[in-house]
Amino acid sequence: MSFDLLVSHYNYWIVIFLMMVGFYILISRGNLIKKIVGLNVFQTSVFMLYISMGKVSGATPPILVYPYGEGDVLYSNPLPHVLILTAIVVGIATTSVGLALAVRIKEAYGTIEEDEINAIEARTEAAE
């Protein structure tokens, strides 16, 4: 494992680390709101992966420099930016639905801890 590889892939590895932190929060924590936070961390790390791939060293943001279409300017890749803009907005939409569900679950069960909900479910099933 050479030093070059470390430098050129450092971004990807940190992104994967963050992704795994989000994933771990998602599957190991019982609190529903904490799970949604974990999902958001996971999601943001995917955004970072895409934006890292769109970066060109020494380039400027993809906003054309005047005079437009002339001159020799290096721009970063605009396509990942567009995809991620869409993804951010969809992400907040799904987050808000998730939080609304959590609020409803809190109302129906009186708790948002997964194991307590499971216990209540088991008790109601046993009673039937």
Shortest distance (Å) from residue 47 CB to another protein: 7
Dist CA 85 CA 97 (whole Å): 19
- Strand, coil or helix: 29: coil
Task: Read off the tokens for 8.
Answer: 């050129």
Which residue(s) pair with 75 in the sheet?
60
Residue 107 CB-half CA count within 13 A: 6
Query: Which residue lies nearer to another protein by CB, 82 or 122?
Result: 82
Shortest distance (Å) from residue 111 CB to another protein: 9
Query: Which residue lies nearer to another protein by CB, 40 or 128?
Result: 40
DSSP 65: P
Shortest distance (Å) from residue 128 CB to another protein: 24
Shortest distance (Å) from residue 120 CB to another protein: 14
